[in-house]
Structure formats: C-alpha cells, structure tokens
A and B are shown apart, each in its own frame.
Chain A
Amino acid sequence: MLKIENLCVKYDSIRVVHNVSLDINDGEIVAMIGANGAGKSTILKTISGLLKAESGKITMDSEDITRVDSHVIVQRGIIQVPEGRQIFTKMTIEENLKLGAFLQKDKEKVERNFERVLTLFPILKERLKQTAGTLSGGEQQMLAIGRALMGAPRLLLLDEPSMGLSPLMTQNVFDVLRQLKKDGITMLLVEQNAYDALEISDRTYILETGVVKITGWSRELIEDPGIKKAYLGGEYDA
C-alpha cells in the first residue's frame, strides 16, 4: 500500500532521517519504535507532507506522493493522528469531528462515520457541544483518533498515541487500535512504548538516529533476547 524508498529528510538543515526504506501492506499494523530523536515523527510528518523530503520516494498504491501538498495526501486516504494530539482546542468536540471529514463529499457516509466514532468513544457523545480544550489528555487522544476516523482513512498514521497517558488510558487506546485493525484499517504506529507497539503490530521497524537498525515480525522481535535487553528494559518478562 505505502512504500518508502531511501528517504532522507532534513530538519532545520540537519539531516535526521537517513535512507529509510519501509513498506506497509494492506491490513497490516506496522510499528516504528526507537528512542527520542530517532526520526520517527519526522518520517510521519514527511509522509503527511508537513515536511519535504530531501531525497527518496514515497508512493501510495504505486502513485508518487513525495512532493505533494498535505491536503492531497489526506485525499488519498492517508490520515495522521499527530503527536501531542493537536486537537482544535477552541472549537467544540462536534466541530473537531466534522473537521476530520473536511474532504468527505458523501454526507450520508460522514453521518455513518460520525455515529461509528461516537459508538467507539461514548465519552465524546456526552460532550459534543463542549470545547475540546476542556477534555483530559486521554479524552483528547480519543478525540484525535475519532477525528482521524472521520476522514475515512485507508492508512492511519499514529504518532505516539500513548504519550502522556496513564497506563489504563494507554490500554484503552490500544484496545481501540485492535478494534480498528479488525475493521480493516491499515496502520503505521510510532511509539516509544516499545512493548505495547511490538505486541499490537504485525511488523516492526526499529530506528536509531534516523537509520533503520532492525526490522522483522513483531512476535519474533518481542522474543529476541537482544531486543528485550535493548528496548524492553532487560528483565521485562513478557
């Protein structure tokens, strides 16, 4: 579905992504893990067109989207839940969700998606007219995911959805992602929370300072003693 070839990205004139290649197949959850500054968010921003690639190529269904404006990328069905949630804090929850469907032309489909999002996140239903800034961190994350779903994503890019959330809230978010996988949504998940990311995903790319270090099946990586030691905190007992 999505294919990245030899991607290099500069951020403030420093190259932070070096020759990264990555591909995502239909229906998969692919995780990208690695420490802060590994370039994970930069890659997502580049896919979404917020940053421009220095070199390399990104294709969606074999169509080149490397240097395309972000609104065109959204039109292709690639939708991002950004780091730090980035909801519209001064607008209501309903308006936030409606904005998620900004490019959707089919009103009935938007209405169906709206109902579906509210079923998935009942907490939002009770507060549709409330300003989004009044929500707690976890609720804001639900809203950010719900807003992305309003855009009928084919590929959902998730940038650290567990950031700043309590362990319970984190589990809620991952439960939602499992549900979305059942619904057939393809996902690229960026996480610092390596264990959860390996557990939920089919395949994982481990990045270090802008380079893909290791890649493989998540269920194999999670059993790998070296990986356990380096990324899962040593004695972590899965």
Chain B
Amino acid sequence: MPDFGYFLSQLFNGIKLGSVYAMVAIGYSMVYGILRLINFAHGDIMTVGVYTILVLFTTYGMPLWLTIIISVALSIIVGLTAERVAYRPLRSSGEETTLISSLAVSILIQNIIVMVFSPQRVAFHLPDYLSKLHTFGTVRLSTMNIITFVAVFVILIALSYMIKNTRVGMAMRACSDNMNAARLMGINVTTIIVIAFAIGSALAALSGLMLAGEYKTIDPLMGFVPGLKAFCAAVLGGIGSLGGAVLGGFILGIIEMLFAGLMPTEITPYRDAFVFLVLILVLLIKPNGILGSNEGGRS
C-alpha cells in the first residue's frame, strides 16, 4: 500500500503534467471553438516551437527570452501557413475533410523535422534558474513548473476577458455561434479565424517549451500524443470552453500520474491507453464534457 506522501507527490506530478496539458488544450480550444476543427497538427506546431528553441538556445546560445519570441513567431507562421494552405480551401467542405487535412499537416511537419534534424531523441535542458528545484515537504517543483502553473491561469483569465469583452472576442463568439450570420454582420470571418490560429499556435509554442522542460528530451514525434491528450482534455472539460479545457487538462494530468504511480508496474506502460479510455468514457456518458453547454450537434 503506497503511503500518503507518495500519493501526494504523484498528485503534484499530475498537476505539473496537467498544467502543460491545460496549456496545450487552451490553444486547441481557441481554434476548435470557432471552426469545429480537430486540429491534429496542433501538437506538431508545438514541436516546431521546441526545435526552434533547441537550435537557437542550445546550439547558438541565444538568450532564452529571445529564442522564445522567435519560437512563438515561427510557430505562428507555421500555424497560419497550415490554415491558409490546408484548411481554408476546404472550409466549405465539412469538418471531416479538414480533420483529415490536419492529419496530413501533422505527418508533414513531423517528417520535415525528421529530415532537417534526425529521428533521434535529443537532450533538452532548461537553464539552471528554470530547472532549479524547490522542496515543499515531500513535493519538489522546479521554477518552470511554478511558471507553467501560473501561466495557465494568467492566460486563461486574459483570453476569457478578451472573448467576453473585446470587439474581436465578440466576433469570435459570433463566428462560433453561427458563422454565416457573423458574415452578414460584416465580420471578416477569415480574419477572426486567422487570429484564433495565431493565438493557438503561440500557445502551442509556449506549451512545447514547458513540455520539453518537463521531459528533458525531445524528438520529432513528441508533439503528437500530447496534442491528442490536449484534445481529450478539451473534450473532458467541455470543448469550446477555455475554462473547461484547463479543468480537463488538470484532470487528465492527475489521472495519468496517479495511474502511472499507483497501478502495478506491469500495466503502467499503458498509461496513454488509459487516458484515451477516459476520453471514450466521457464521450459515452457526457458528450458535452464537464463544463460544456448542452447544445446538440451543430448544423
């Protein structure tokens, strides 16, 4: 029987992981909320961000803040290019078509990264001031963990405020509610979608840094599974709702770490499968998620 201290530390590991998932899930939800697009490439844009930091920071020794800015900028460019080339031309042909297109974008990005770098896993180290550990009783958190946790809530509050109160936010909600009607109001729907993709991609880059800092190694396929998990988190919390995405991210992270820490070691390698099992259960029991509105399917 594991002792309480161990349980507590696994719980905190779950929160650490959950805050990264939450971060990815917010970006996912931004795009999904407007386009109903399940963007498989979201996680791979995260990988683009991470590799940018790897090259500029680890190899060329640029200051970290500058590499973060460049990484965010490059991720936005990749995200908007995907929108322009792979999603926009298909916008009128249905959600399934863009979903498949996003899968293609995902595979393309992964393979470009494999070609430019190598399929090998490489080490990724944050500077000491970010990876420094702080001990709270049995729990040890790095500076980066604390920053991630705080950042999730700062971003959640900032984006929620924007969506609720600003002109762009109103337009985003209108597009999400009824895109054709939004057009008839004079809203430039394409611009709104581009803004949503830009925000989503920027958040992907930031969450990539957080994920890499946690795993300490990176590889070209690293973004795909966290991308799927972010989607699970968004579904779990109530897709389209940013608060739901954050809640879902934390729940998923905690479930995953408790599973990994408390189950017999023979089955812990199946933790990803377990996470997706949770997704299936949620879809069966509460298809709109914990905080999701009870709307029916959108026509």
Interface residues of A (CB under 8 A from B): 48-50, 69-71, 74-75, 79-80, 82, 86-91, 95, 98-100, 102-103, 147, 151
**Contact (Cβ within 8 A) B293 A69:** no
A50 to B181, CA, bound (A): 10
Beta-carbon nearest neighbor of A86 in chain B: B181
Beta-carbon nearest neighbor of B188 in chain A: A71
Central interface residue in A91, A100, A102, by most chain B CB within 10 Å: A102
Determine how close the nearest CB of chain A comes to the CB of B25; give it in whole angstroms.
21
Central interface residue in B167, B170, B171, B184, by most chain A CB within 10 Å: B184
> What are 29 residue pairs bridging A and B, where the CB atoms are less than 8 Å apart in the complex?
A48-B184, A50-B184, A69-B188, A70-B183, A71-B188, A75-B186, A79-B184, A80-B184, A82-B180, A82-B184, A86-B178, A86-B180, A86-B181, A87-B181, A88-B173, A90-B177, A90-B293, A91-B174, A91-B177, A95-B170, A95-B173, A99-B170, A99-B185, A99-B187, A100-B185, A102-B167, A102-B171, A151-B185, A151-B186
Answer whether residue B295 sits at the interface, using C-beta atoms and an 8 A cutoff.
yes
Beta-carbon nearest neighbor of A69 in chain B: B188
The size of the chain B interface, using a CB distance under 8 A, is 18
A87 to B173, CA, bound (A): 12
Determine how close the nearest CB of chain A comes to the CB of B46; give it in whole angstroms.
30
A135 to B176, CA, bound (A): 20
17 other contacts beyond A74-B184, A86-B181, with CB at 8 A cut-off? Answer: A50-B183, A69-B188, A74-B185, A82-B181, A82-B184, A86-B180, A88-B174, A88-B177, A88-B178, A88-B181, A90-B295, A91-B177, A98-B170, A99-B171, A99-B185, A99-B187, A151-B186
Interface residues of B in 152-177 (CB under 8 A from A): 167, 170-171, 173-174, 177
A48 to B174, CA, bound (A): 18
Determine how close the nearest CB of chain A comes to the CB of B192; give it in whole angstroms.
10
Interface residues of B (CB under 8 A from A): 167, 170-171, 173-174, 177-178, 180-188, 293, 295
**Contact (Cβ within 8 A) A70 B186:** yes
The 3 closest A-B pairs by CB, nearest first: A74-B186, A103-B186, A86-B181
User: Chain B interface mostly helix, strand, loop or mixed?
Assistant: helix
Beta-carbon nearest neighbor of B177 in chain A: A88
**Contact (Cβ within 8 A) A102 B187:** yes
A101 to B178, CA, bound (A): 16
A90 to B176, CA, bound (A): 10
Central interface residue in B171, B178, B185, B293, by most chain A CB within 10 Å: B185
Q: Which residues does chain B contribute within 8 Å of A99, judged by CB atoms?
A: 170-171, 174, 182, 185, 187
Central interface residue in A70, A100, A147, by most chain B CB within 10 Å: A70
Determine how close the nearest CB of chain B comes to the CB of A160; give it in whole angstroms.
15
Return the contact of B187 from the options A71, A90, A147 (Cβ within 8 A).
Answer: A71
Return the contact of A70 from the options B170, B171, B184, B295 (Cβ within 8 A).
Answer: B184
Q: Which residues does chain B contribute within 8 Å of A82, judged by CB atoms?
A: 180-181, 184
Determine how close the nearest CB of chain B comes to the CB of A133; give it in whole angstroms.
9
Beta-carbon nearest neighbor of B184 in chain A: A80
Beta-carbon nearest neighbor of A100 in chain B: B185
A86 to B293, CA, bound (A): 19
Determine how close the nearest CB of chain A comes to the CB of B57; give it in whole angstroms.
42
A18 to B174, CA, bound (A): 33
Q: Which residues does chain B contribute within 8 Å of A48, judged by CB atoms?
A: 183-184
Q: Which residues does chain A contribute within 8 Å of B188, judged by CB atoms?
A: 69, 71
Q: Which residues does chain B contribute within 8 Å of A80, judged by CB atoms?
A: 184
A98 to B170, CA, bound (A): 9
A98 to B174, CA, bound (A): 11
Q: Which residues does chain B contribute within 8 Å of A86, judged by CB atoms?
A: 178, 180-181, 184
Determine how close the nearest CB of chain B comes to the CB of A113; give it in whole angstroms.
14
